[in-house]
Amino acid sequence: MTTVYEPSQHDWKAVEFKSHPSTLTRLPIRDVSWKRSSVIPSLNPQLQAYGIDPGVHFGLSWIGRDKRIYAVRASIVREEDTELSVLAHRVAAGIFGFTGVYSMLTVIEGAAYSKFHGQVDLEKIRSGMVTALHPYVKVVPPNRIRKLAFGSAKIAATSIWPLLDDHAADAVGCMLAAYQLRLEKLSSKE
């Protein structure tokens, strides 16, 4: 029997992220900042999960086979004659090629309806990423992500990891939500 992960029972503030020198040079991105956590024994690396905080400046996170959480903050390179959705599609499709894992669940942060600035471009980026990652993707509202990842919709990833870039921290929350959704799906099958 698989036990369901209880986010409120994990002390996420104890997880520290350190710089990691690798780059994603094959993707059309720039300003890449990598971080890697220490080993987290309670995570099951067989349950592959990704998290994306979408945007021109985006965050990406996943669980490595080494039981570490990886967090990346990067920026999409804009091309004058190319729609943002196409650029985002290239980046998201390249993520799968970079990691070599094609069948994990990815959670992309959904729209925050209280925010008004930049939502049209953000939706173009989100839709480009969704089409690249289909059928292994779910768009989840921010409050639900925080509830799944940290046990409460009032806990922000940036309050847990203030030294981690906002986009990378939010991506870690998305990845933990994807991990939780995979565990829930497995436990419902038993």
pLDDT at res. 169? 94
Residue 1: predicted pLDDT: 36
pLDDT digit string (tens) for 66-91?
888 999 899 998 888 889 999 999 88
pLDDT of 4 above 60: no
**Residue 75, SS3 per DSSP:** strand
pLDDT tens digits for 36-64?
888 888 888 888 889 999 999 999 998 88
Structure tokens at 22: 């690798």
pLDDT average, residue stretch 156-185: 92
Domains of the chain: 14-189 (3.30.420)
Residue tagged 């945007």 (tokens): 55
**CA 122 → CA 70, 97, 108, 147, 166, distances in Å?**
23, 23, 12, 23, 16
Q: Which helix (H) or strand (E) holds 168?
A: helix 166-189
Q: In this predicted model, what pLDDT tens digit does every residue of 24-38 receive, in sequence order?
A: 556 778 888 888 888
Query: What pLDDT, on the 0 to 100 scale, is given for residue 188?
Result: 78
Q: How confident is the model at residue 178 (pLDDT cuts 50, 70, 90)?
A: very high
Nearest to 104 by CA among 62, 48, 61, 64: 48
Which two three-digit tokens encode residue 61? 């996170």
Q: Please indicate, yes or no, whether the overall pTM of this predicted structure exceeds 0.85.
A: yes
CA distance 47 to 32: 26
